[in-house]
A and B are shown apart, each in its own frame.
Chain A
Amino acid sequence: MQKQEYTITVYTENQIGLLNRIAIIFSRRKINIESLNTSPSEVDSVHRFTIVINETEDVVRKLCRQIEKQVEVLKAYYNTEEEIIWQELALYKVPTDVIAEEVKVERLLREHGAKAVVIRKDYTVFEVAGKREETDNLIKVLEPYGLIEFVRSARVAIIKDSDGFHKKLKEFEYHQPGEDTSENEFLSENEKVFSM
């Protein structure tokens, strides 16, 4: 099986120490986390982790099962690049005088979809949201003009096929899911809904 990039989405309770509990599932197996983001989710009180790794599907599936086994984890999904919509945010700090003097720079920035966040006499900060290549490209473009600082955020991703976690959460709140839930949960929707 080929290694490829997978984005793992984990819905969790918001609990101190959980980040570590999840992170060591990867480090124990000597797997590098390419990107990790934690944020609120569409459901109040439920947290969402977005983790990017490069691995085979077999390994990723096992990792998700280990993650899901943690007491405070509600659900873990993994998706390939095609199955998600994702973005990263990059910030670039450039000397303001260079931009003012070199008309070309301004054009380049505009071409890359950069937006000024802060403009000061000494420097200007631009932001670009997009894919890795896009934000990377702009570094190369800006380097000759004295890029002062660069930073990129972790990936955030939306799963194309997901209808969110609201309904799912209800099932978790039942003590014993009723026949109905377990039927459609397992028989009709099979792997997609409840892969464990």
Chain B
Amino acid sequence: MQTLKLKATPKEKKSSPAIKHAQEVSGSVAVLDALVAENVETIFGYPGGAIMPIYDALYDYKEQLNHILVRHEQGAIHAAQGFARASGQVGVVFATSGPGATNLVTGLADAMIDSTPVVCITGQVFAHLLGTDAFQETDVINITTPITKWNYQVTDATEIPAVLAKAFYIAKSGRPGPVVIDITKNAQLQKFNYAGYEKCEHIRSYRPKPIVRKEYVEQAAELINAAEKPFIIFGQGVILGNAEKEFQQFVEKSGIPAAWTIMGMSAIPTDHPLGVGMLGMHGNYGPNVLTNECDVLIAIGMRFDDRVTGRLDKYAKQAKVIHLDIDPAEIDKNVKATVPVWGDCKETLPLLTEMIKQKVYPQWLQKFQEYRQKEEDKVIYEELNPTTEVLTMGEVIKELNELTKGDAIIVTDVGQHQMVACRYAKMNQTKSNITSGGLGTMGYALPAAIGAAYGDPSRHTVAIIGDGGFQMTLQELGTIMQFKPNVKIIILNNNFLGMVRQWQQLFHEKRYSFVDITSPDFVQVAKGFGIPGKSISKRPDLKNALKEMLDNDGSFLLEIMVGKENNVFPMVPQGRGVAEIVLCREEV
């Protein structure tokens, strides 16, 4: 055991005055010391009665820990998610008991399904009041059990160092995920003899990575080497595993076309010659159709979500499936793997790369090209070069690409704008696409963009949000006003809850039921928060407005009025196979 771990961390000089002279510390100080030892710099939080001792201790940690006061705890956790996704580090949240903790629920569910590492510290009523319906008491542990990778209630301060060490280890190792640590107020106040913080490196009941089974890697290589029409589909596992380089080497040596899921986007540059586009309901035409033509399907760090597979009984039935995943529970969950390659893809990919032959598949790639052309002719060209007077979402993204050169972090909300942004955005760097993929949480983008701006301040963070989703968490403009992260906000306003409207048009005989949404004057709203803004609706203003937004030092809100009833195509209608993807309304 090291004493006073602060001395061992790089932030030595910043060590807390509270600990320097005494071994006796409060649970609250131990919490903050743990964060410093874990190299946490930014916390997103909101105080309240049951977490006051921690906030009191934070008063003396202002130099080491940057606390961002959000406007709603949902904002705190989405910001922590955005931070984690942009930086690759664990996002940290503070919230009080009861309503503070329940406001985290959406973000926890989101982080759980999208494997985002966050540690949430919630205050809880005094231990002797547990179960008495005390003021602001909620059973946080039981509420969050299904939506956390791990959770734990601390009632005794002596547990704090080890529990927090475990929390960070669990959140970021293996398949990452959210962790909730609920700390009763007495434990925060309790003084105890603190022996220092020790990072956790092993928990006997927890195996973050399955051991690589070489014979499966060999079998996978054999299948790949014999394949004529192999196809790679990849997900966020590549990014979470920091395996972008290993992945790119694998793709390039194998010569195999590769398509990404929405969560895997940006793991390789979007215009990589072997990158053939996005999979899924609104993904590209070729990758969807050819999933059902390939002979070997190589799935890497992805989980065959139903938005990717469409109808399972019509999914890649002809193909042998190689599935590389770190989470054994994903193997055979939705799609049966011919060869399961368990393990961290950072370890398995190089092994596989070594065993495969260097190859090219010109004819097979040509097929993707043909489908690309069809999609271009029927969908993309018109979306990016519209002949109508009203702006399309696609052309906004095209202009944005030109200005950012594909170097920005793009944070999207949920709906049509999300699908269009992911279809057309160019990304040169990894961790560029931050979106709520699994849960589809409207209201995610604005707070997540705030977090991303802290997670990687060296890049532009551009949030692309619908008029509906923006109204779900726009209170976080207050956070931007106060703390001044640099967030560029684009609202693509179609005056509708567009994605739901699209479904009502296509599948409910255009019975538009409560999708017509009125918006406030967004520019005035931003102005009220001290954020400059602009609203445009005409093509000639587009480029300059985007430029003004990007060039502005600091945050900027740009509302862009777009076509009201534009639809996102292609589309794999729900309940159909991926090969039944349609390119236009008439085909639905």
Chain A residues in the interface with B (C-beta under 8 A): 12-13, 16-17, 20-21, 24, 28, 61-62, 65-66, 68-69, 71-74, 169, 172-173, 175, 177, 182, 185-187, 196
Q: Which residues of A contact B210 (CB under 8 A)?
A: 196
A20 to B146, CA, bound (A): 9
Contact of B328 among A17, A69, A175 (CB under 8 A): A69
Decide if B329 touches A62 in the complex (CB within 8 Å). yes
Number of A-B contacts (CB under 8 A): 58
Decide if A186 touches B328 in the complex (CB within 8 Å). no
Contact of A62 among B141, B206, B215, B332 (CB under 8 A): B332
Decide if A17 touches B329 in the complex (CB within 8 Å). no
Decide if A68 touches B150 in the complex (CB within 8 Å). no
Decide if A65 touches B329 in the complex (CB within 8 Å). yes
Q: Which residues of A contact B423 (CB under 8 A)?
A: none
Q: B21 within 8 Å of A by Cβ?
A: no
Decide if B329 touches A66 in the complex (CB within 8 Å). yes
Decide if B205 touches A12 in the complex (CB within 8 Å). yes
A16 to B127, CA, bound (A): 15
Contact of B150 among A28, A71, A182, A186 (CB under 8 A): A71
Which residue of A is nearest B152, CB measured? A17
Chain B residues in the interface with A (C-beta under 8 A): 141-142, 145-146, 149-153, 170, 201-207, 210-211, 213, 215, 327-329, 331-333, 342
Contact of A21 among B145, B203, B328 (CB under 8 A): B145
B146, B201, B205, B332: most-surrounded residue (chain A CB, <10 A): B205
What are 10 pairs between A and B in contact, CB < 8 Å? Answer: A21-B145, A61-B332, A66-B329, A69-B327, A71-B150, A172-B205, A172-B207, A185-B211, A187-B215, A196-B210
Decide if B328 touches A65 in the complex (CB within 8 Å). yes
Q: Which residues of B contact A173 (CB under 8 A)?
A: 204
Q: How far is the CB of A10 from chain B (nearest CB, A)?
A: 11
Decide if A186 touches B211 in the complex (CB within 8 Å). yes
A196 to B206, CA, bound (A): 12
Q: Which residues of B contact A185 (CB under 8 A)?
A: 211
A111 to B443, CA, bound (A): 69
Q: Which residues of A contact B332 (CB under 8 A)?
A: 61-62
Decide if B170 touches A71 in the complex (CB within 8 Å). yes
- Beyond A65-B328, A68-B328, A71-B150, is A20–B204 a contact (Cβ under 8 Å)? no
Decide if B145 touches A71 in the complex (CB within 8 Å). no
Q: How far is the CB of A11 from chain B (nearest CB, A)?
A: 9
Q: How far is the CB of A190 from chain B (nearest CB, A)?
A: 10
- Beyond A65-B329, A66-B329, A71-B149, is A20–B142 a contact (Cβ under 8 Å)? yes
A65 to B337, CA, bound (A): 15
